[in-house]
Every structure is written in structure tokens, then in C-alpha cells.
Amino acid sequence: MKLLTRYLAREIYSSVAMVFAVLIMLFAFMDLITELNDMGDGNYHIGKVLLYVALIIPGHIYELFPLAALIGSIFAVVQMASNSELMVYRSSGVSLKQMVGAMVRIGLPLVVLCFAFGEFIAPPSDHLAQELLLKAKNAQVTLKEFRSGVWVKDERSFVNIRNVLPDTSLRNVSIYEFDETYHLRTITAAKRAAYVSNDLWMLEDVRQTRFNSQGTTINNQEKVEWHSTLNPRLLNVLLLLPEKMSSWDLYQYTQHLSDNHQKTGRYEIAMWNKLVYPIAVLIMMLLALPFAAYHRREGGISGKIFIGIVLGLAFHFGGRLFSNLGALNDWQPMLSATAISWVFLTIALALMWRTERR
């Protein structure tokens, strides 16, 4: 059995690597074509275009892991079945349970690699890509959740942010501070805000309006310190989609939203997706096992690969569908994130049972 596992691992790993090479070249080429349309905008020249395309490749690798594992595993087992290699192994007493165990052992390193890309490699790489793009185009992130920008609750204050620069410094910030009885106490408007350290911001070009029982006072200052639980890590949410953030960053942001009594559904679903997505690699590999019952009269290897591509795309878009439905309907986040995985695991087990019965 160890011999089978080593041989099967070699075949699957080489097939998955080949599939990854093809898919990454395809996606990189499409990204390059897209970015060439913006070349010449600001300081966005060909060198930065190529660097941007290279920086978003880890994100593609993470997203494509289940699809590459499925297609690579299907190619490997069908190739072995067409050469009657799997038939020899099964005839020598290897059970389906042992085949599943071999697949799990082979898949575990891929699961760890997928998790590493999703947690430690792709998020910072995507963030660097966005910073590069914005700096090269001399752009800034304009917040459009409302016409007035994005509103953030920070303890007893409401903060309005109009613009975020690539270095996460802020432009056009308004802070509305309330007292314990929810009466407006202070309005602080600043042209700029830069993060110093330890939840401390430095506001520049500040106009502060104070309200009290005696009336209203207005004070203009060049610089004012602002203590806030907001920090650049939380503001990274404004530069990256939740799906492209690490699970740790998502956890921190959901805690911030929860502490301020705001809805956390979308970010909790994204966090659970990050945690369970690597397991999908194993499920896709188990889904490839029924293809081991290969018969030449049922069609060539290309037909099996096509079925694998269709299943992989169905998994990808089905996962997005469940996530969006969960966010819209306030479903339990873990259920929304894992629903498509449970569906495909059921399909894999059903196909293996049917194949074994035949």
C-alpha cells in the first residue's frame, strides 16, 4: 500500500503542477491584457504592469487550488486506469477504504500549502499590488458606500472618512463625538490624518466645534492627536475585498464591528470560507476517485477532464452563491461558508458508493 501511495502521489503532484502551470499562465496573460489598457495612466509603465500581474498571481493560485487538485487528480487516476494500473492494485486486494486513505494522505500537504497561500502569501501580495496600482496611477481610494463616504462607529464616536491613500493615511475626516446620554458634544473636521502608533492618529488642519450649555465654540488648530481603535490594519479592509484578506485580519475586523454593535455577517462568512476552503482540496481529490473506474468505451481522457472543469467551476460559483445568499439573508456564517463543501462531499461519497456497487 505504501508503494501505491508513493506512486499515486507522484502522479497526482506532477499532474496538479502541470494544471497549475497552464491555469496560471492563462490567468496571468488575461491580467496582462487587462492592465495594458491602463498603461500610461500616471506613472503606470510596463515594468509596474508586469510587477502588478506578478503580485496578484498568489491570489490566483489560492483561488485555483481546488480546481487544480480536481483536474490533476482526475488526469492522474484516469491515466493510471487507462494503463490498467489501478485494476492491478484493486485485484491485489486494495480496498476503496485504502484508496480513500491514500488520497487523504496525499492531499494533506496540498491542504497545508493552500492554507499557507490563503493566510500568509496571497493577502500581503494582493495588498502590495493594490498599493502599487494606486501609487502608480497617483490615485486614492474614494469610499462610495454612501455619497458622503464611509461611516465607522468608534466607541461613542461616529467617524466619516471620504478618502484613503495607499499608505492608509486619510483625507477629509469628520468625527462626531457623543457623551454618555448620546448628546452631540464635539465635531472635529480634519483635512488629513496620519497613523502614529498604538491607536494614535495625528489630525492635521483641524476645525473643532464644541457644544455645551453655554453655547458653541469653534477652534482651528494645525495638529490634534486623536485616540481611536481604528488602525491601518482595519483600514486595509477598504483596499481589499473580504475574500482576499487573511482569516486573522477578518477576525479582528469582525471583533471591531461586533464591539461597536454593527453587522458582521459578510466578514464572518469570509472568515469561515478562509478556514474551510483548504479542506475543499481534499474533497475535490476524493471526487476524482470515481473516475478511476475508467473504460475506454466511455470516452477519452479529455472528456473526463472536461467533466472535472465543469465540477470545479460549479464548486467555485456555488460557493460564491451560498456566501452571497448567506450575507443577504443573515444565515449562520459557518453554514453559509461550508454548504457547498458538504454538497460536493455528498456527491463524492455517492459516486464512490455507486462505483463500488458496479
What are the grid coordinates assigned to 318, written together? Answer: 456555488
What are the grid coordinates assigned to 68, written together? Answer: 487544480
138 or 12: which leads in pLDDT: 12
Grid coordinates 478556514 are at which residue? 275
Parse the chain into domains and list their residue ranges.
Answer: 2-137+265-357, 156-228
CB 176 within 8 A of CB 167: no
Q: How confident is the model at residue 185 (pLDDT cuts 50, 70, 90)?
A: very high
213 burial type by CB count under 10 A (0-12 exposed, 13-18 middle, 19+ buried)? exposed
Residues 176 and 159: their CA atoms lie apart, in Å, by 6
Residues 137 and 39: their CA atoms lie apart, in Å, by 9
pLDDT over 70 at 158, yes or no: yes
321 or 293: which leads in pLDDT: 321
CB 195 within 8 A of CB 169: yes
pLDDT over 80 at 128, yes or no: yes
Q: What is the mean pLDDT of the chain?
A: 87
Q: What is the pLDDT of residue 153?
A: 83
CB 245 within 8 A of CB 236: yes
CB 274 within 8 A of CB 123: no
* Maximum Cα interatomic distance, the chain, rounded to a whole number of Å: 93
Amino acid code (one letter) for 294: Y
Instruction: Compute the residue count for the chain.
Output: 358
pLDDT over 70 at 104, yes or no: yes
pLDDT over 90 at 91, yes or no: no
Q: What is the DSSP string of 240-288?
A: S-GGGS-HHHHHHHHHHHHHTT---HHHHHHHHHHHHHHHHHHHHHHHH
Kindly state the average pLDDT of the residues 161-173: 83
Residues 125 and 243: their CA atoms lie apart, in Å, by 14
Q: What is the pLDDT of residue 138?
A: 67
198 or 145: which leads in pLDDT: 198
Q: What is the pLDDT of residue 212?
A: 86
CB 204 within 8 A of CB 231: no
pLDDT tens string 29-84: 999 999 999 888 888 999 999 999 999 999 999 999 999 999 999 999 988 888 87
If one counts every other C-beta atom within 10 angstroms of the C-beta of residue 44, the result is: 20
pLDDT tens string 200-227: 999 999 999 999 888 899 999 999 999 9
Kindly state the average pLDDT of the residues 113-124: 95
If one counts every other C-beta atom within 10 angstroms of the C-beta of residue 343, the result is: 16
Q: What is the pLDDT of residue 237?
A: 64
Which residues lie below 8 Å from residue 186, measured CB to CB, with a gap of 6+?
175, 176, 177, 208, 209, 210, 211
Tell me phi and psi for residue 219, to 5 degrees: -135, 125
Amino acid code (one letter) for 280: A
CA quadruple 146, 332, 318, 309: dihedral positive or negative? positive
pLDDT over 70 at 142, yes or no: no
Kindly state the average pLDDT of the residues 173-187: 92
Q: What is the pLDDT of residue 178?
A: 93
144 or 284: which leads in pLDDT: 284
Q: How confident is the model at residue 139 (pLDDT cuts 50, 70, 90)?
A: low
Grid coordinates 494645525 are at which residue? 222
Percent of the chain at pLDDT above 90? Answer: 54
Amino acid code (one letter) for 270: A
Q: What is the DSSP string of 35-70?
A: HHTTTTSTT--HHHHHHHHHHTHHHHHHHHHHHHHH
Q: What is the pLDDT of residue 279?
A: 96
Q: Which of these ranges, 71-75, 127-131, 318-322, has the smallest mean pLDDT?
A: 127-131
Q: Which CATH number fits domain 156-228: 1.10.3470, 2.30.30, 2.60.120, 2.20.25?
A: 2.30.30
Residues 291 and 305: their CA atoms lie apart, in Å, by 10
Query: Would you give the end-to-end CA distance of the chain in angstroms?
Result: 23
What are the grid coordinates assigned to 240, written together? Answer: 481589499
Residues 255 and 264: their CA atoms lie apart, in Å, by 8
Q: How confident is the model at residue 238 (pLDDT cuts 50, 70, 90)?
A: low
Q: What is the pLDDT of residue 117?
A: 96
**121 DSSP 8-state letter:** I
**222 DSSP 8-state letter:** E
pLDDT tens string 271-305: 999 999 999 999 999 999 888 765 554 556 788 88
0.85 exceeded by pTM: no
Q: What is the pLDDT of residue 172?
A: 92
Q: What is the pLDDT of residue 299?
A: 54
